[in-house]
Structure 1
Amino acid sequence: MSPTHRLFTALLVLLLAGCSTLSVRERRDAADLALAARSTEVGCREGVDCAVDSPLLALGHAAVAASTPEAPRHEVVLLDRGQDSLLARLHLIRAARTSIELQMFIFDKDDSGVLVLEELLAAARRGVKVRVLLDQLYGLPDPNLQASLAGHHANFELRLYNPTFDEAKTQKLQYAAGILCCFMKFNQRMHTKLVLVDGVAGITGGRNIQDRYFDWAEGYNYRDRDILVMGPVAKAMAANFDAFWDYERSRPAEELKDVAERLHRNGGPPPSWLFDPERPPPAPRVTAMRDEAGDGAAVMARMEPLRLAVGRVDFFADLPEKHGGELRAEEDASLAMHDLVESTQDELVIQTPYLVLSREARKVFRGLQKRAAKPAVWVSTNSLAATDAFPVYAMSHKYKRLYLRELGFRIFEYKPYPTDAPINVAATGVLGEERAAHLPMFGSGSSGSSSGPVPLKRAGIRVGLHAKSLVVDGSIGVVGSHNFDPRSDNLNTESMVVVHDPQFAGALLASIRRDMTPENAWLIAPQEKPPVLSGLNYSLGKLSEKLPIFDIWPFPYATSYELVPGCNPIPPGQPGFYDCYEDVGAFPEVDLPLKTVYTRILTAFGAGLVPIL
């Protein structure tokens, strides 16, 4: 960076930092106001917000009691459905007796977010120690709300991870300044997701606290996956949470500048819409979910068909020192992930929303292909029509030849309107003539910008893949937050649960296979060879792919295929494949002019961004 640029950046940062009018002493006094305002009263209203009996949580205590270091016992529940995952979280929070730790990347103020937040506050008021750690960029970015929460109760603590400009809310100019002045630190995010109750039961996986993760969004919902694990591995989850909680980048909300300003201005915690007695009543679905979460027997009955008793379960998670330079970025969760992939003997099944591989990951997969007995590698990922990350998909599209030809992947791209998906359509709220008629996002994407889903040719309940899982040799199942991409390796902190049990691995495999069926996904395979100059076409395409900026060759190696009705699935390369599969183009369902050119342009701009995608 030139001296002029450095000076400009420094001035911009100083300008942004100077927005606070409080002195250091005034900020310290503001924090003291929040601490002094915290209620110490403990109590609850029977049948309203008191702790409920939980057969589910009892399984966690029983598993811990029955375990030994040599013979651990765990209970696990695979949470494929968003409504099940929200219910499990709320019920465990309602059942907590001693402690709740919540660690999250995104925590929104929509229906699900407010519902979870209210249950956390109710738990604190009845005597449960509640600690909430949110990544600063997307964790309740409302300084007034945070100021109010900071002074609510002595049993409730809120901290924000990595507030780059020492504030709860990042302004638009601060995003630009973050890139200019402190790119690496600004991009080091806490991507971990965890809800841990009473030190015996934890939920982790791909879901954040936001409506679209629980089938409650009207325009676009995620097909995601979590795991509820109960037993001694929860101790490792607690230790990892404590490491983040105590790390220097985790800041109490009341110490942040914009939060302190509101505390100072109001002489204590300011009024908040969350505690407004005149606030409109919650939506019927919120009331119904809250009521169901309070019925331990009903929750247990709903989770029982999904429950498995297993033995060994491991929890691998990055430590915050990954962001401080004390640990190599590829250690911990990423290292465990690479070791699992390398251990594959026969078959590896991966599900990731973003098929962008780091150089290290490519080396691992190339190593698998060099073996005399090459393991099969199946990949479930997003199509352009389903993804909400256009630039990331552009990079995935650029390297399809590499993935198919050199790494041996069999790729299935998720459809935006899957026929058979674990999505509760009724819960989205878009059904019915009156609702559908007033939904501008119903069945369509954004205007085709580089962020958000793209426009589609037809309407429907739109779904994008967000699950991060893998199955190794049908015997080990992994559910976590790691996207198997460079950002997860190098910038984000990630976590994952590894279950060493064939029955669980089989259930997870069936779940991923479901997303790869012709009803739910397009098969990605090489295009039929042209009758002449096929070798030249391949060579020129490969050369174009290796260009550092533009991928200019207009004849892509691969395309999307739809199974012809009446045909059975056939592997690419087998006789009769092109008779049973219809070429539906590189970007089926997408309603954009010059789609290929658009994607190539994004690829050109994104080529240098692979490490942070």
Structure 2
Amino acid sequence: MNRVLHLLALALLALALTACMPSRKDIRSARADARALQDTATTCGLPDRCAQESALYALGEFAMAQSQPDAPRHEVTLLESGEDALLARINLIRAARFRLDVQSFIYAQDDSGFLVLSELLAAARRGVRVRVLLDQLYSVDDVELVAALASAHVNFELRLFNPTFGKARTGPFEFAAGILCCFTRFNQRMHNKLLLADGVIGITGGRNYQDRYFDWDPAFNYRDRDILVAGPAAGQMQESFSRFWRHPRAVPAAALHDVRRRLSALERGHALDPDTLIATAQAHGRVAAMSRAASDPSVIAERLLARTRSVGEVEFLSDLPNKTLERNDPSERDLSLELLALFEGAQDRIVLQTPYLVFSRTARRSLRALHEREHPPRIIVSTNSLASTDAFPVYALSHKYKRRYLREYGLHIYEYKPFPGSAPLDWQDALIDLPPGAPVRRSLGERATESRRAIGSGAQGSRGSARGGRVPLSREGVRMGMHAKSIVIDDRIGLVGTHNFDPRSDRLNTESVVIVHDPAFAAELAEEVLADTAPENAWVIAPRPKPVVLSGLNYSLGKAFEALPLFDIWPFRYATSWEMKPGCAPVPRDDPKFSECYQPVGDFPEVQVPLKSIYTRILTAFGAGLAPIL
């Protein structure tokens, strides 16, 4: 009887989730009501909507003019620095003349998020059509702000993808109910990220809209990567965005139940003021500095155009918005299979960067097949350490399978340090601290020391109890975590995108990627990734020194426990972290001189948690069955 009641409750929850979604009639009515509140005036009457002159935007026009159907021309720029990535976005928003499309998985209510919002609203008011599509679960959840944006201007429209129970804000109860009743639908998130100006130039990659993606967080920032693409591939970006925008799960913000209630309480002509709600962003000097830099041609030339290169063939691939609903539809492009085909075509070397080293069953088969070739390609992996990750449960699974990764797949794994010796530099530091032509990487050691005085309790958060999936560390500083997603195949093909190369990206999230078929670009991308594997930036994962006795028994027992989905409690793991000794040069783990030049530093260096506690939490609390959703 209890089982029947349990199933009935789940069925009712599922019905509620479906029934609570706004109907087409509700959407039409809500949009009409919102239009009655929206401002229709524009600040510019010129044909170009008073767009800012931009050499960056001109790359799109140039590439389009130079391209032929059988000989495409593209201009591409790797955006390694967080502030460069934000600088490029603001510049393109100001340069847009007709249309701006923005797509994101996370959109936070902080300095960078508010800055971009204010720029998008300004573009709408000068006559540019602005469309913003955000995944509902991890984006703006302030109903007052969403209502203000929904009623702000006739040229600005916000839609939220796959809203839980048809609302802008998901509370704890709705979150739990969504998981219980409709696990697959609730977990199918729009992980795509895109900013597209006039269909000629766009930015995509790993970054969401949140301070930590743009080097602005006082305690924790991401090592991430975007790519700016100008040329015909922008048309593929436009097609992908349009498909998501038109999909039934992309619900206009005005039609969401909690937003509509707020708008219904307003009198005609008395709309909410979004500028007041986002004005706090203007209080910080860095926002004003970024705003000035985005209109400075010399800054754009130095920070962005100097790193732009001309290439030929570029592809933008994206999952369809109904990815988990129609996986057997032959018309659907499965991005994961496209990536796997490129992976399997490698002959000499694969350089992979991913924050989460957990592979799907299909990927595991592919890796094993590559390693079993007579002449297997060398696979170099840059990923997070426990000290740098903000996703502790995911690291638990990667730690569980280190033996398999090294022995059966032949991976060369480098785990990112939380305080890397060098990292991409933001533009302000470059202009203030470095002479012209200086490298775009600098030591974070001194910056961590300075930050303890500058940010006070913010840095202390790096040592305290775990926050946001991060474990406490043994020292203070501005912690960094890996978030970039890139692949280089045989130094001839470079990929930058949103796909984490993990089961969740394979099965649940929608993803996108830019593929550049150009050896020079591939070499540049490989250089960036390999810099993150340098001894000052990463620990090498290699087999631990063999015990004096019973080494074979230890290996066999460890392998047996590894096969268990739960209760993998064998304490003597196959692999550990190694640090290069002073005076040595970097060598791979299979080099005969490796043990002479490197020393083991424990499984979880820099982490301030007792070893026994770590083993208990990592190896017993999480099982292999969780891999598809973590």
Aligned to 1:447: 465
Paired residues for 1:582-597 under 5 Å: 582-594=599-611, 597=614
Aligned to 2:5: 4
Greater alpha carbon shift after TM alignment, 295-304 vs 428-437? 428-437
1:317 aligns with 2:338: no
| Alpha-carbon distance in structure 2 between the residues aligned to 1:433 and 1:545 | 41
Paired residues for 1:1-40 under 5 Å: 2-9=3-10, 30-40=30-40
- Pick the aligned partner of 2:346 from 326, 344, 347: 344
- Paired letter, 1:558: A
- Pick the aligned partner of 1:517 from 521, 524, 534: 534
**Which string of whole-angstrom CA distances, capped at 9 and with x for unpartnered residues, describes residues 550-597 of structure 1?**
212110000000001011223324333223211110000000123564
- Pick the aligned partner of 1:405 from 396, 404, 407: 407
| Alpha-carbon distance in structure 1 between the residues aligned to 2:161 and 2:237 | 18
**Paired residues, number:** 609
Paired residues for 1:91-490 under 5 Å: 91-267=91-267, 270-272=271-273, 274-275=275-276, 281-325=282-326, 327=328, 331-424=333-426, 436=454, 438-442=456-460, 444-445=462-463, 447-448=465-466, 451-490=468-507
- Paired letter, 1:368: L
| Alpha-carbon distance in structure 1 between the residues aligned to 2:619 and 2:487 | 29
Q: Secondary structure at the match of 2:315?
A: strand
| Alpha-carbon distance in structure 2 between the residues aligned to 1:186 and 1:19 | 14
Instruction: Quote the offset at 1:227 in angstroms.
Output: 0.2
Change (3 A) 1:404 1:157: same
| Alpha-carbon distance in structure 2 between the residues aligned to 1:601 and 1:224 | 26
| Alpha-carbon distance in structure 1 between the residues aligned to 2:357 and 2:403 | 13
Instruction: Quote the offset at 1:157 in angstroms.
Output: 0.9
Q: Secondary structure at the match of 2:424?
A: coil
Paired residues for 1:565-576 under 5 Å: 565-576=582-593
- Pick the aligned partner of 2:574 from 552, 557, 560: 557
Change (3 A) 1:282 1:430: farther
Instruction: Quote the offset at 1:318 in angstroms.
Output: 0.4
Change (3 A) 1:45 1:13: same
Q: Secondary structure at the match of 1:455?
A: coil
| Alpha-carbon distance in structure 2 between the residues aligned to 1:553 and 1:345 | 37
Aligned to 2:597: 580
| Alpha-carbon distance in structure 1 between the residues aligned to 2:238 and 2:30 | 30
| Residues 522, 560 of structure 1: 8 Å contact kept | yes
**Which string of whole-angstrom CA distances, capped at 9 and with x for unpartnered residues, describes residues 211-265 of structure 1?**
0000000110000000000000100000000000001111000010000010112
| Alpha-carbon distance in structure 1 between the residues aligned to 2:551 and 2:427 | 46
- Pick the aligned partner of 1:492 from 495, 509, 520: 509
Q: Secondary structure at the match of 1:300?
A: helix
- Paired letter, 1:442: Q
Q: Secondary structure at the match of 2:207?
A: coil
- Paired letter, 1:289: M
Q: Secondary structure at the match of 1:251?
A: strand
**Which string of whole-angstrom CA distances, capped at 9 and with x for unpartnered residues, describes residues 80-134 of structure 1?**
0001000000000010001101010001110000000011011111111111000
TM-score scaled by structure 1? 0.93
Instruction: Quote the offset at 1:443 in angstroms.
Output: 6.2
| Cα RMSD after superposing both structures | 2.8
Change (3 A) 1:446 1:96: farther
Change (3 A) 1:323 1:278: closer
- Paired letter, 1:570: V
Change (3 A) 1:240 1:29: closer
| Alpha-carbon distance in structure 1 between the residues aligned to 2:412 and 2:174 | 42
Aligned to 1:532: 549
| Alpha-carbon distance in structure 2 between the residues aligned to 1:582 and 1:277 | 51
TM-score scaled by structure 2? 0.91
Q: Secondary structure at the match of 1:454?
A: coil
Q: Secondary structure at the match of 1:106?
A: coil
Aligned to 2:440: none
**Which string of whole-angstrom CA distances, capped at 9 and with x for unpartnered residues, describes residues 158-213 of structure 1?**
11100121000110111110110001000000000000001110100000010000
| Residues 152, 273 of structure 2: 8 Å contact kept | no
| Alpha-carbon distance in structure 2 between the residues aligned to 1:580 and 1:425 | 36
Aligned to 2:438: none
| Alpha-carbon distance in structure 2 between the residues aligned to 1:26 and 1:53 | 41
| Alpha-carbon distance in structure 2 between the residues aligned to 1:426 and 1:307 | 20
| Alpha-carbon distance in structure 2 between the residues aligned to 1:522 and 1:434 | 24
Change (3 A) 1:434 1:527: closer
Greater alpha carbon shift after TM alignment, 419-428 vs 369-378? 419-428
- Paired letter, 1:285: R
**Which string of whole-angstrom CA distances, capped at 9 and with x for unpartnered residues, describes residues 376-430 of structure 1?**
0000000000000000000000000000000000000000000111144977998
Instruction: Quote the offset at 1:40 in angstroms.
Output: 1.8
Aligned to 2:53: 53
| Residues 233, 315 of structure 2: 8 Å contact kept | yes
Q: Which runs of 5+ in 2 are unaligned?
A: 430-443
| Residues 218, 458 of structure 2: 8 Å contact kept | no
Change (3 A) 1:576 1:432: closer
Change (3 A) 1:435 1:154: farther
Q: Secondary structure at the match of 1:51?
A: coil
Q: Secondary structure at the match of 2:138?
A: strand
**Which string of whole-angstrom CA distances, capped at 9 and with x for unpartnered residues, describes residues 42-94 of structure 1?**
11599xx9421011111111111111121000000000000100000000001
Change (3 A) 1:604 1:104: same
| Residues 445, 453 of structure 1: 8 Å contact kept | no
**Which string of whole-angstrom CA distances, capped at 9 and with x for unpartnered residues, describes residues 469-496 of structure 1?**
0100011110000000000000000000
Greater alpha carbon shift after TM alignment, 593-602 vs 346-355? 593-602
| Alpha-carbon distance in structure 2 between the residues aligned to 1:237 and 1:301 | 27
| Alpha-carbon distance in structure 1 between the residues aligned to 2:494 and 2:279 | 48
| Alpha-carbon distance in structure 1 between the residues aligned to 2:567 and 2:400 | 10
| Percentage identity across paired residues of the two chains | 55
Aligned to 1:69: 69
